[in-house]
Structure 1
Amino acid sequence: MPPRQFDGSRVRAVRRGRNLSQQQLGDMVGVSGPAVARWENGQDFPKGEKLPAIAKALHQPLDDLFPHDGPPDLQLLRCDAGLSHAQAAEIINASRAPLGNAESGRRRLSDAYVKPLAKAYGVSEDELLAAQDRSFGVRVPSRAEQASGPRTIEEKINYLLRYGYVGQEAPSDEQIARAVNEHAGAATVTAGDIVALRTGATADASDVVRAGLAHALQVEVALFQDDAELSPEARQLLEAFRFIGSIHRGQILGLAARGNSTGLSVEMMAKINDLVGELKHKLPDVPGGE
């Protein structure tokens, strides 16, 4: 069943109201008349990527004819762009596996796929990454929560996975669990335990697991030792991850800081990140970029 709600009887009523036969509607969306009949009778469902074409053919807003609950995940973004798995895979010059793994919450997209997919789906890169978080069962924090920095283990893991692997593939749940166990010298967690921590199903972890997470995600142990307000140093580190990611994706073309031997403050980097988020649609394409 498609990620949007599909009511065959409603499609039938709208089709008849526009004086279209099942065959005519099928011709407009690239299927047979009998296929439309099966949709309307509840015997089958159209593929999710067909829904935009159906709504267009029936002169109906997509969200009105086929509503959905909550913000989109990766599957919904692809389907709303009218793209099949094969078509989206062709855009990133890859097999269907990376898309299927990301949409099902098994392995995150390679950083190189983010920009072309965001462009193909008609969304910003941040919107695509937020949709990916939802595909992995991660609650996307509000702007206020983002401004204060990640505090819980869930928020910290997802922040590091999202921003800490510029130009390289983030580790999977299995790889993180393996690294935690290697650091601990014992089988302390499973991939399922990492999923529970990453999605917030488990809110706490032992000191051994926290130290292992820091080792697995290549940060200082102190970052995982306290869920309270982050220290200025920890916030600066996390903002730096976002900042570097913005540069890597071509959202910031260059930056000169004069007369500052200690580098940009966390407040300044936070402001720059917010500005990038607001203005990136207006930035020109980077020459030679992906």
Structure 2
Amino acid sequence: MRRSPFFAKLKLLLAGQKVNTPRFYRLAEKRGSMSARHFDRGRVRAVRRAAEVAQADVATAVGVGDSTVAGWETGLATPDPEKLPALARALERELNDLFPRTGLPDLTDLRCDAGLYQYETAAVIGTKSAGPVAGAERGERRLKDKYVPALAAAYGVSEEELRRAEDRSIAKAQAGEPEPKATSTAPGSAGPPGTLAEKLTLILERSYPGEQGPPTDAEIADAINAHAGARVISAGGVMDLRTGAVETTSPVVLEGLAAFLGVSPMYFQPDDAVARQVYEGLQLLSASRKGAVGRVKGRGMSSQGLPTNVMEFVNSLVTELEERESDSDE
């Protein structure tokens, strides 16, 4: 008989035995790929000057700082592939003309040509995170049919073109492209990340491989502020968190950070706080399976324990889980 993996792990936990590290600590390695478009800083500078467009105007159009554009033209930095469409428009040139492509596009190329960062695709397909798109871009799994129309429309291609690009992503993954070497921005540690800086470093290194690299501190700060609906952190504040200069921050910043990076807010909580929540949840589930839910009290509640509607919900959930376990045993 085949036992349910969920209940197998649950029983180990309730018995006080060790189980695998929580999933949010086991972030998958992601394959990196160089940008398929060629960026020539000298040509960009020449085109801008010929069009008599100031660096400041280009910066405003692309949504970056003046110094960023200057850095692109001097070779100190390279723009993200996602920025190239806006840069081409700012210089009044066609994308394929100013930044010619090498080879046919894969899913990552189509997204970048649409000027979208990976995390932004969650809103396009109506999911909480960009996981489905990230997995498809890495060639690990195909997109569900229900996501294809919205992505194709957002990328400005047909559904057939999107599927062909998906085939190329899978082919690249099967060919086994070498993974990029990550450079740490915070002190490293053996095993799962513990501090906020280590957790940030892990995500930024693993989730944004390739030449484009991770988002800048300013981009992260802008996303957090947009999520909060107010200015709650600066680029300097993000850098302090990322490097470990500041070890804690407000809940609203952590929530915005989690939304931007596509992870659960629990990921950024201290390990002991997460463990406490898991333990209390397991206590409640264990008690409910023994018919003793009424004796389990919620934090901050009255001496009568959990509200009736909550107990009813928990008991119905446990019944459903037990039925699933029974079905798996047949």
Interval containing the TM-score (normalised by the shorter chain): 0.3 to 0.5
When normalised by structure 2's length, the TM-score is 0.40
In the superposition, the TM-score normalised over structure 1's length comes to: 0.46
